[in-house]
Amino acid sequence: MRAVTLVSPDTVAVVDDWPEPSCGPGEVIVAVHGVGLCGSDLAVASGRRPVPTLPWVLGHEAFGVILAAGRDVTDRRPGQRVVVEPNYACLTCGPCRSGATAGCTARRAAGISEHGLLAERVAVPARFTWPVPDSWDEADVVCVEPLTVAVGAVHASGLHEGDPCLVVGAGAQGLLVCLAVRQAGGVPYVIEPHEGRRALAEQVGARSAGARTAFPAVIETSGVPEAFEDAVERVAHGGCLVAVGLSTRPARLPTFTLVQRRLTLRGCLIYDHPVGFAQTIAMLRSHDLRPGRVLRERFELSQAPAAFAQASRVPGKSWISLPRTEEMAS
Ligand SMILES: [Zn+2]
Ligand SMILES: [Zn+2]
């Protein structure tokens, strides 16, 4: 079958001889219909984030249709449309038992610690697939995973209804945070140097922050240390800065500012299972959020190398659409 693989740092190729997945007793086989690209995929593709082996199947923000279910699976069935929750927590370690599965010490992450989901068919633990209505637009379905990250970041910021919230960076994740801020009743303001991205942020209801300061909640999505440093200066007394963006390059943080302004600084990693996805999907059922508005570029599977090459430059989120091969496979 076809799969999108990293063959060497910076070289992405579509192969047509990747082995078919086998379905374990607690797993389902999903025919993948679409996969969104995000910063961590690009970090893997560029070689900045090393993976265990090459060639490596890329991608983690996947949705599709269940083709087959393992013998122990009772609550999923072939034909169901599902979104994959691509971080498979062990659910038995200390952090998992406390509910903080993002801190799982044995977490398997599709596309990072094990092969990704950008293939025609993948095996996924059944409990990490989430049924979604057939009526939902593909663009919205492909955004469920990164929207869950965004909702978690807004929650971590302690944002109150009516509060302004500064969102630093209006890449795809920043745009989804803007939507989540509005959904939570807050008022999103953005800082984004890229004009096209800034325009997209305004389309989803964010305002330009300009020189405004004293935000009770700030969410840093860019991962640029200098942007983080500026963000610290814009948090209100007693406010909270949530870091979502990643960098291994240090940012400077004066402890004088931290202490005198009584700031809370929180790192926010993905989401916890099962509450994160459950809440996001419930929110999408009850509100007309249309997260698919942050998508701009749709690529066919054969265009995957171009999708990866362009994704960091184009405003909005890129995604790859896969041909429907279920009939051929069965
Ligand atoms: Zn992602
Ligand atoms: Zn665990």
Residue 111 CA to ligand 1 center (angstroms) comes to 10
Does residue 283 belong to any structural domain of this protein?
no
> Is 328 a residue whose pLDDT tops 70?
no
The Cα–Cα gap between 57 and 182 comes to 35
Residue 19 CA to ligand 1 center (angstroms) comes to 24
Residues 46 and 92 in one domain: yes
The CATH number of the domain holding residue 180 is: 3.40.50.720
| Among the bound ligands, the one closest to the CA of 107 | 2
Does residue 285 belong to any structural domain of this protein?
no
Give the residue numbers spanning the domain of 236: 146-267
Whole-number pLDDT of residue 209:
98
Q: What is the pLDDT of residues 262-317, one digit of tens each?
A: 999 999 999 999 999 999 999 999 999 999 999 999 999 999 999 999 998 889 99
The Cα–Cα gap between 231 and 215 comes to 9
> Is 326 a residue whose pLDDT tops 60?
yes
Q: What is the pLDDT of residues 21-32, one digit of tens each?
A: 999 999 999 999
Number of H helices, E strands in the chain: 11, 18
The CATH number of the domain holding residue 90 is: 3.90.180.10
How far, in Å, are 228, 229, 246, 266, 277 from residue 224 at the CA level? 6, 9, 8, 16, 27
Confidence of residue 330 (pLDDT cuts 50, 70, 90): very low
Six-digit token pair at 124? 């996924």
Does residue 98 belong to any structural domain of this protein?
yes
| Among the bound ligands, the one closest to the CA of 93 | 2
- What DSSP state is assigned to residue 19? P
| Among the bound ligands, the one closest to the CA of 105 | 2
Does residue 221 belong to any structural domain of this protein?
yes
The total of structural domains in the chain comes to 2
| Among the bound ligands, the one closest to the CA of 176 | 1
Strand partners, 189: 166, 207
Which residues have CB atoms below 5 A from the ion given as ligand 1?
38
Residues 207 and 239 in one domain: yes
- What DSSP state is assigned to residue 34? E
> Is 123 a residue whose pLDDT tops 70?
yes
